[in-house]
Amino acid sequence: MAALVELRDVVKHFPVTRSLGEIARGAHPAVRALDGVTFDVGNGDAVAVVGESGCGKTTLGRLMLKLAEPTGGAITFGGAPMAGLTGERLRDFRRQAQLVFQNPFDALNPRFTIYRAVVEPLINAGIDKAEHADRVASAFRRVHLADFDRYFDRYPHQLSGGQLQRVVMARALVLGPRFLVADEPVSMLDVSVRAGILALLREVRETMGLTAVYISHDLALVRYLCERTLVMYLGRVVEDAPTEEIVRRPRHPYTKALVAAVPVPDPDQSRAPLPIKGNVPDAREPPSGCSFRDRCPHAMPRCAAETPLLRSTASGHRVACHLD
Amino acid sequence: MAERADPVTPARTSWPLLPVLRRIVAMPLKDPFAFTGILIYVLFALVALFADQLAPIDPMEILFTKAGKLAANVPPGAEFPLGTTNLGRDIYAQLVYGTRSALAVGLSAAIIVSTVGTIVGLVAGYFGGATDAVLMRIADMALSLPFLPFVIVLTGFLGASTSNIVLAVALLLWPNSARVIRSQVLTLRERAYVEAARVTGASAWRILFVHIAPNILPLSFVYAAIAIGWAIITEASVSFLGFGDSGSVSWGMMLQDAFASQALSRGQYAWFVPPGICIVLIVVAGFFISRGYEEVFMPRLRGR
Amino acid sequence: MILEVDKLQIHYSTRDGTARAVDGASFTVPEGRIVGLVGESGCGKTTAVRAIMGVLAENGRQAGGRVVFKGQAMDEATTRKLRWRDIAYVPQSAMSSLDPVYTVGAQLVEVMTKRGNHSRASARARSVELFDLVGLNERRLADYPHQFSGGMRQRAAIAMALALEPSLLLADEPVTALDVIVQRQILDVLRSLQQRLHLSMVLVTHDISVVAYLCDEVVVMYAGQVVESGPVRDVLARPRHPYTMGLRNAFPDLLSDALELVPIAGSPPDLREPLSGCRFVPRCPFAQPICGIDAAMSGNGDHRSACRRDSEADTLRTAALDPRTWQRSSSFAMS
Amino acid sequence: MRLVLGRFTHNALALLAVTTILFFMFRLMPGTPLAAFINENLNADQQQAMLEQFGLDKPMWQQYFIYLANLLQGEMGLSFFQRRPVMTILLEVLPNSVILTLTSLIIAYIFGVVAGAWLAWKRGTWIERAAVPAVLATRAAPEFWIGMVLLAALSFNAGWFPSGGASSPGMAYSSNWDRIFSLDYVHHLALPVLTLALYLQGLPLLLMRSNMLEVMHEEFVTMARMKGLSEWRIVIGHAARNALLPVVTAFALGVGLSMGGNVVIETVFSWPGIGRLLVQAVSVHDYPLAQGAFLMIALVLALMNFVADLLYMVLDPRVSHGRKG
C-alpha cells in the first residue's frame, strides 16, 4: 500500500540561550530533538514510536500533525508536502489528522461540557449545525460510552480517567479522520482501565480503517497495538522492525538494553546486568558518530568517526549500527 | 437521541464566558474577604450616588456663623458633624462629595488598566515572537519609570487635571497586569486542551477568545480591583503635593488643605482622619476582593 | 515480624464527607524481606505508608487500628523516636523531596548530625560511603538537587534513607517517574542494598512487574482494604481474589504469548460513601449475594485472600482468563 | 556570568529608555524648547554657557546626543532658582534620602519577615484572622496620611519628636557626616522612618507569610518531618530559608521603589531629600533641577532592579548553579 505519511531526513532543533563564548564563536547550540528521521507510515498501518524521555518521540508526533514546523527535511501527507499547507488546505488537513492526548484530565477544557468539547471540531470544520447532534452521538457510540447523552451536560471533573479518555477519543473521531497520532494514550490511566482503552484504539483503527502512530515509552504496551515499531535514541531512529522482531530479536545494542530493562510480571525473570553504561548524554552535545557509542558495550573506533545509517537488514527490519 | 430535543443544544454550545461571569458574580458569597470588599464598594457607590441628599451643604461654600463671622475651624458638632475648615467649609460635605471624585478616578483608571493589560497580555502571550518582544519591552520601560515622580512631573507640566492623573496612572500600571496575564497565557497555551483546539482546526483568534480568555478574566478583575486602589492613592498623593485638580473636591485635596492650614498642630483630627480612613477602606476593599478571587480562581488555574 | 499493621483506619475529612482512605487494612512485614504493596490510584497504599511515617495530610487522621514495629505498638512519641533511625522512607519524586537550596551533601550531614550521633566530620565521611554505596561519585555531594539527573536524584534519596542505618525502608513508588533503563538500575540498587544490609522493605507500587522483579511477598489493596497477600510467586501465579486475577490479566507482559489484555470494567467505589461487604462487588464477574457481607482474610499458609468464594478460587481463576467473563460485569460499567 | 551581563544590559537599556523619554518630555513641554533650559533667573553669561553646553541652538537629534554625553559626565546644567549646578544640589540631599529609605526598609523587612513567618505558623488562629486585614489596611493607607496622623499625635500633641526637617535650627556641624551621625539627626529621622516602616512592612510580611504557607506544603518539608528533624529546624532551616528568597529580592526592589515613593513622606516631614527637591522643582518650574532629581531616582530604581536580579541569582542555587549531567 502507498504511504500516507512520509518523513524524509526530518530535523528539529530547539534553540537554547547562547553563552557569550558561543556568541563570540558564532556557534548556534541547540537541543537536537530530531536529528535526521526518515520513515514512511503506510496507509492503514499502525506504527509505534518507542524511546525514553527526551528521545524526540513527542516532537515527532507534533511535527506529523503540523503543530510544529521541522527545522529541516520534509514531511508529506497523502503525497502533499506539509510545509505548504495553509488556509483551506490546512483546515482540510486538520479534518483528516487527529491526536489522542496523554493526560485526559488536561485534554478537555474544564469550562466546556462534554457535549461542547466533542462538538467543537465540527464547529471548527464548518459542518452544518443540523448534523452536529447525530455526529456527536455516533462518535460516542464508537468509543462505547454507554448512555452517552447522560454525559453531555457534565463537566470533565465529574468523569473518571477512563471515561475522559473515551471522550477525548470521541472528539478525535467525530470528524472521521484518516490519520491518528496517540501520544502515550494510557500512561496516565490505571492498569485496570488501560486495557479497555487499548482495545478501543485497536478496534477503531480496524473499523474506521485508520492509519495510526502510537508514541510510547512502554514496549510492553506497544505490543498490543502495533505490528511495527520504531525505536528512537537521542533524536534518531536506531531500529525499525515488526514489533515481535524488536521484542524477540532486537539487533541494535540500545534496543537490546531497552528490551532487557522492561520488567515482566514473572518472579523468575532474568536479573542479569543491563548491557548498557552510563546515562543519556546532553542532547545539546551528543557524541560524534553514533550517538549511542558512549554507552554501548560494543563500541569501536568506527562508531566515533562515522554515523551509522539506518539500513535494511532482513525484510522490513532496519538497524542503524555498524555491527549489524 | 430523540429525547434530546434541540432547545437543549444552545446551552451546551454557549460561550463559556457566561458561566465564568456567573462565577465571578457569585464568588463573593463564598469568600468573606471578597464579600466585605464588595460591601464597601457598594456603600461608597451609594454615597457617591446620593451625595446631594447626604450632604445638603455645598462643599465649596464658605459658611458664616449666625453672628455673621466666618465659620472657620468650627469643632465637630450638631450643625457640622466633622466641623469646618479654616476657610469655613463643611468638612462632612467635602468628605461625601470626595467619594465621587475618588470613584471616578478609581473606576476610569481600573477600566483602562485592566482592558489594556488584558489585551496586551493575551496577544503577547499567545502570539509570542516579535509581537511579544516589542510589547514586553514597552512594559519594561514603563515599569522602570519611578511611579509617583513620573505622575508628578507629568501633571506638573501637562497641567493639574483629574484626567491627566488617570492617564499617568494608566500609563504606568498596565504593564503589571499585562505581565501576569501574559505568563498565565503562556501556561494555558501549553495546556493539552488548547493544543486539542488547534488540532481540531480552531483558528488562533478562536483559541484565544474561546479557550484562553475565559480563564484570564478573573485575573483582569483582580487587577482592576487593585488599580482602583492605586489610582485613588495616587490621586490623593498628587493632590496632597499640590498638583491636583483645584476645581474638584477630593480626599487628597482635603488632606492637603488640612496639612497646609496647620490643622495638624491644632489637633483638628476630625478634618484629616476621616478622608484617610475612606481611602484606606476603598483601597483595602480592592485588596480583599483580589484576595478572594485568588483563593477561588487561582488554585484552579494552577492545579490539574 | 518487623512491622505489623493491624486493622488500620485512616480517614480524611473532605468537604463532601469523610473519606475512608484506609479501611481496616492489615498486613505484616517479615524481617529481611521485601513486601510489595500493590494497588491502583486511590487504593490507600500511599496513605498507609505515610501514616506509618506519621506524616498524614492535615485533614487526615488515624481513626483506628495500630502499627507495631518490632513488637512495640507505635504512638506519636515512638513514631517520632523511630523515624529515620529505624524506619526510613524513599519518595517517588526525589526532586521535590530534597530541599532545593542546600547541597545534597549538606542534607545528608544534616540528618546524620541532628538525628544520629555523628560529628560533622564523621557525617561527611559517612556521606562519601553512602554515595559510594548507591553508585554516586562523591564529588556530587557538593551539588544541588537540580544538578542531578532523575536517576541520580533517586540514588541520592536512597543514600539519604540509609544514612542512619535503619532496619526498615518504606519506598513509595521509587521508580515510577523514571525511564525503563534507569528504573531497572534503581531497582538493582535497592535489591543489592537490601541483600547486603539485610534490610526489610515495603515497596509501594502500582506495577506488578516491579513487584515480580524485586519483592518476596505481595499485599494487594483495593479501595482501602487488603484483598490478598502472600508470597509473590504464589499470588502472581495463582491469584485467589478476583481483583488480583483481573489485575494480572489487565497487565501487559512483554514476553507473554497472549496478545489480549482484559480490562476490568467500571471504576473503584467512592470512599466517601458508606460501604459494606466486598468493595469489588460492582466490578466483579463472580459476585454473589453473599459477597455483601464483609469477608475476613482466609486461606492456608501464607497465601490469603478476602473473598467469599475463596474455596472456588481455582475454578474462578480459569474462568477469569477468558475475556468474555469480564464483559459480563460491564452492566456496572460507567456507573 | 552570562545571566549577570544579560540582566545588566536589560536594566541599562531600560534606564536609557527612561532618559530618552525624559529628554523628549522636557523638550516637548509647552513653550519654546529654549525655555526649558534658559530662564531669566540666570544672568546672561550663565544663559550663554547653558546654550552652548546643551547645544540648544542645534537640531533636536544633536541636542539628544549632547544631552546623553553631558549626563554621562554628570553634567545636568544649573538650577534656575538656586543658580548652582544640579549635580551639586542632588549630591547634597541624596544621603538624606538614602538614609531614610534604607533605615525604614531594614526595620520594615526585619519586622515583616519575623511577623510573617510567625503568622504563617499561627495559621487558622484568631490572631491570624485579625492580623491579615490589619496588615492589608496598612498597605492601603496613603503614606503621607500615616505621616500626618503620627505627626499630629506624636509630635504636635505628645511633643516627642520634632515636627520636620533634618536638624534643629541653630545647630552647627563641622561636616555633613558629623551632622548625620548626631543624635539630633536621629531624632529628626525617627518619625519619618516610623511612618515609612509602618507602610512598608506589609509587603514583606504578607509575602513571607504566603511563601511560608506554600513551602510548608512542599514535599521536602514533609520529608524533613519524616527525618525527625526538630520543628524549629524545619521551620527556620528549611521552610523559612526557602520562603525568604523572594523577600530578599523584594527588599532590593523596595529600595528603588520607595525612593520614588518617598516624595510624599519627605514633603510631610520637610525632610531635605531628593523627593521633596523634585516636588519643589516641579512646582516652581525649575526644569533642570526637576529633570536631575527625576533621573537620580530613576537611576537608583534601575540600579536596585539590577541588584535584585543579582541577589536572586546568588541566593537561588537553581539559578546560580547550572545543570550537570
- Find the closest chain D residue to C142 by CA distance: D321
Distance from CA of D218 to the nearest CA of C (A): 7
Query: Do A244 and A310 reside in the same domain of the chain?
Result: yes
* Residue B18 pLDDT exceeds 60: yes
> Is A273 in Cβ contact with C187 (below 8 Å)?
no
Q: Are A251 and A102 in contact (CB under 8 A)?
A: no
Confidence band, pLDDT 50/70/90 cuts, at residue B289: confident
C-alpha cell at B91: 468638612
Q: Cβ atoms within 10 A of the Cβ of C318, count?
A: 11
Residue located via cell numbers 466641623: B83
Question: Average pLDDT of chain A?
Answer: 89
Least confident of A32-46, B77-91, B205-219, C143-157: B77-91
- Residue A116 located in a structural domain: yes
Report pLDDT digits (tens) over A50-68.
999 889 999 999 999 999 9
* Interface residue D226 vs chain C (CB under 8 A): yes
Confidence band, pLDDT 50/70/90 cuts, at residue B3: very low
Which chain D residues are within 8 Å of B144, Cβ to Cβ? 11, 14-15, 17-18, 298, 301-302, 305
> Is D242 in Cβ contact with C83 (below 8 Å)?
no
Q: Which of B26-30, B263-267, D177-181, D224-228 has the highest mean pLDDT?
A: D224-228
- DSSP letter (8 states) at residue A40: E
Mean pLDDT (whole number) for D141-153: 88
* Residue C331 pLDDT exceeds 70: no
* Interface residue D317 vs chain C (CB under 8 A): yes
Domain that holds residue A58: 1-85+227-324
Question: Average pLDDT of chain C?
Answer: 90
Q: Choose the closest CB to B1 out of A90, A95, A137.
A: A137
* Residue D175 pLDDT exceeds 80: no
Which chain D residues are within 8 Å of C52, Cβ to Cβ? none
Distance from CA of B67 to the nearest CA of D (A): 31
User: What are the residues of chain A with a beta carbon less than 8 Å away from any beta carbon of chain D?
Assistant: 17, 19-20, 279, 281-282
pLDDT cut 90: percent of chain C above it: 65
Distance from CA of D323 to the nearest CA of B (A): 23
- Residue A221 located in a structural domain: no
- Find the closest chain B residue to A98 by CA distance: B199
> Is A107 in Cβ contact with B200 (below 8 Å)?
no
Confidence band, pLDDT 50/70/90 cuts, at residue B295: low
Interface contacts C/D by beta carbons within 8 Å: 72
Q: Are B223 and B180 in contact (CB under 8 A)?
A: yes
- Find the closest chain D residue to C153 by CA distance: D325
> Which residues have a Cβ under 8 Å from the Cβ of B141 and sit 6 or more positions away?
D14, D17, D18, D21
From CA A183, how far away is CA A170, in angstroms rounded?
A: 16
> Is B149 in Cβ contact with D293 (below 8 Å)?
yes
Q: What pLDDT score does B5 carry?
A: 35
ipTM: 0.84
* Interface residue C111 vs chain D (CB under 8 A): yes
Nearest to C7 by CA among C68, C79, C56: C68
- Residue A34 located in a structural domain: yes
Q: What pLDDT score does C332 carry?
A: 38
Neighbours of chain C (3+ CB pairs under 8 A): A, D
Query: Do A199 and A235 reside in the same domain of the chain?
Result: no
> Is A279 in Cβ contact with D5 (below 8 Å)?
no
Q: Choose the closest CB to C209 out of A147, A160, A264.
A: A264
Confidence band, pLDDT 50/70/90 cuts, at residue B301: very low
Split into its structural domains, chain A has a count of: 2
Mean pLDDT (whole number) for B261-285: 85
**CATH code for the domain of A26:** 3.40.50.300
* Residue B271 pLDDT exceeds 90: no
Confidence band, pLDDT 50/70/90 cuts, at residue C227: very high
> Is D220 in Cβ contact with C99 (below 8 Å)?
yes
Q: Are C45 and C226 in contact (CB under 8 A)?
A: no
Residue located via cell numbers 523587612: D109
> Is A190 in Cβ contact with C206 (below 8 Å)?
yes
Provide, for chain C, the percentages of residues in helix, strand and coil under a 3-state DSSP scheme, each rounded to the nearest 5.
40, 20, 40
User: What are the residues of chain B with a beta carbon less than 8 Å away from any beta carbon of chain A?
Assistant: 1, 3-4, 6, 8-9, 12-13, 16, 19-20, 191-193, 195-203, 206, 211, 214-215, 300, 304
Amino acid in position D234: I
Angle between helices B162-189 and B147-158 (to 10 degrees): 140
- DSSP letter (8 states) at residue B210: I
Neighbours of chain A (3+ CB pairs under 8 A): B, C, D
Query: Do A81 and A98 reside in the same domain of the chain?
Result: no
Q: What are residue C231's phi and psi, to 5 degrees?
A: -60, 140
* Interface residue A145 vs chain C (CB under 8 A): yes
Burial (CB < 10 A; 0-12, 13-18, 19+), residue C162, is buried
* Interface residue D232 vs chain C (CB under 8 A): no
> Is D142 in Cβ contact with B279 (below 8 Å)?
yes
- Residue A219 located in a structural domain: no
Mean pLDDT (whole number) for B147-175: 85
Q: Do chains D and C touch (3 or more CB pairs under 8 A)?
A: yes
Which chain A residues are within 8 Å of D1, Cβ to Cβ? 20
* Residue A266 pLDDT exceeds 90: no
From CA A197, how far away is CA A322, in angstroms rounded?
A: 39
Q: Choose the closest CB to A94 out of B13, B199, B214.
A: B199
Which CATH number does B28-60+80-299 carry?
Answer: 1.10.3720.10
Report pLDDT digits (tens) over D74-88.
777 777 777 788 888
* Chain C interface disruption, residue of A190, A193, A295, most C CBs within 10 A: A190
* Chain B interface disruption, residue of D16, D23, D145, most B CBs within 10 A: D145
pLDDT cut 70: percent of chain A above it: 96
> Is B267 in Cβ contact with D278 (below 8 Å)?
no
Distances (CA, A) of C212 to A267, C205, C232: 4, 11, 7
From CA D136, how far away is CA D116, in angstroms rounded?
A: 13
Residue with the bigger pLDDT between B35 and C204: it is: C204
- Find the closest chain D residue to A284 by CA distance: D325
From CA A168, how far away is CA A104, in angstroms rounded?
A: 7
Interface contacts A/C by beta carbons within 8 Å: 125
Nearest to C240 by CA among C177, C149, C301, C290: C301
Q: What pLDDT score does C326 carry?
A: 83
* Interface residue C54 vs chain D (CB under 8 A): yes
Tell me the three state secondary structure of residue A136.
helix
* Interface residue C174 vs chain A (CB under 8 A): no
- Find the closest chain A residue to D323 by CA distance: A282
- Find the closest chain B residue to A99 by CA distance: B199
> Is A271 in Cβ contact with C213 (below 8 Å)?
yes
Which chain C residues are within 8 Å of D325, Cβ to Cβ? 149
> Is A20 in Cβ contact with D5 (below 8 Å)?
yes
Bridge-based pairing of strands C304-305 and C225-231 is: antiparallel
Amino acid in position C155: R
From CA B279, how far away is CA D137, in angstroms rounded?
A: 10
Q: Do chains B and C touch (3 or more CB pairs under 8 A)?
A: no
Which of A160, A184, A211 is the last residue in one of the domains? A211
* Residue C115 pLDDT exceeds 80: yes
From CA D5, how far away is CA C30, in angstroms rounded?
A: 59
Nearest to C284 by CA among C266, C298, C301: C266
Which of A169, A186, A211 is the last residue in one of the domains? A211
Q: What pLDDT score does B54 carry?
A: 77
Sketch the domain layout of chain C as residue ranges.
Answer: 97-165, 239-334
Q: Choose the closest CB to C97 out of D223, D321, D322.
A: D223
* Interface residue D322 vs chain A (CB under 8 A): no
* Interface residue D313 vs chain C (CB under 8 A): no
Q: Are A178 and A98 in contact (CB under 8 A)?
A: no
Neighbours of chain D (3+ CB pairs under 8 A): A, B, C
Which of A211, A243, A271 is the last residue in one of the domains? A211
Report pLDDT digits (tens) over C287-327.
888 888 888 888 878 899 999 998 898 999 988 888 888 87
Angular region, B139: left φ>0, alpha ψ -120 to 50, beta rest: alpha
Q: Where are the alpha helices (DSSP H) in chain B?
A: 8-13, 17-26, 32-49, 51-54, 91-127, 129-143, 147-158, 162-189, 192-199, 204-206, 213-240, 251-260, 263-266, 269-302
Q: What is the dihedral of CA D279, D281, D282, D286, to 10 degrees?
A: 180
Confidence band, pLDDT 50/70/90 cuts, at residue D28: low
Distances (CA, A) of C217 to A28, C36, C204, C214: 54, 6, 12, 9
Least confident of B150-159, C219-228, D116-125, D209-218: B150-159
Q: Do chains B and D touch (3 or more CB pairs under 8 A)?
A: yes
Mean pLDDT (whole number) for A72-93: 90
> H-helix or E-strand containing D226?
helix D219-226
Nearest to D238 by CA among D128, D125, D117: D117
Which chain D residues are within 8 Å of C99, Cβ to Cβ? 220, 224, 238, 241-242
